Amino acid sequence: MRRLKINSDTNCTIGIGALVVFIGMILLSAIISFTIIKVAEEISQNTENTAEDVRRDFANSVLITGAWVYDNQDDMLFMMEFGATGEQIEREDVIYVLTCTEPDGTFHYRSAELGDSKGGSPIFVWKVGEDRPTNANNNVNNFEPGARYFFTLDGGTQASPGGAAGECGPPHMDTHGISANLWLHIPNGPSTHQVLSLSNGREIGSQII
């Protein structure tokens, strides 16, 4: 009779050990794959959130690119340029804030929609390359992305925008030896701040930035 050869317990143990290692490698691979997928999803989500924040915060932008003394009173002329990206902005949605502080600490300000003088000299707004409107009712009503515009602004306070002192205007800055500040606030975009400093006193045409 032929005697059958039986594998030893040692060989069985080796086989079971190899099987355990194989199963462990599969579980490790599954864990690593899950971790990679989770990290990739988080990175993708963070990227989308960042892109949305940038789009929301900087969809619209405007810069003050020039400012000059406009007349013998307290009027100033400004040039602004809107960013190439973004959307059309209505003039009434742009808010200006003009402020200044005298050496003794007296603070003056005025604020309104761009084009609204609140009782001061008429504010004109028009596109660069076109003629200035003869009537403030004919001001530009919408600002296009990438376009440049002129606008005028006169001194005065919120309580008395047409006051003789013309606070924060060129004569007032010249008399007190101070600078003024102008902010433009636009919807769906960052505000723009510009310090106004006389370059040649109150002489018409001299720069104030």
Cβ neighbourhood burial of 58 (10 Å; 0-12, 13-18, 19+):
middle
User: In the chain, what percentage of residues exceed pLDDT 70?
Assistant: 86
Give tens-digit pLDDT for 65-124: 999 999 888 999 999 999 988 899 999 999 999 999 999 999 999 999 998 888 888 999
Cα separation, 162 vs 184, in Å, equals 21
pLDDT given at position 209: 84
**Per-residue pLDDT averaged across 190-199, rounded?**
94
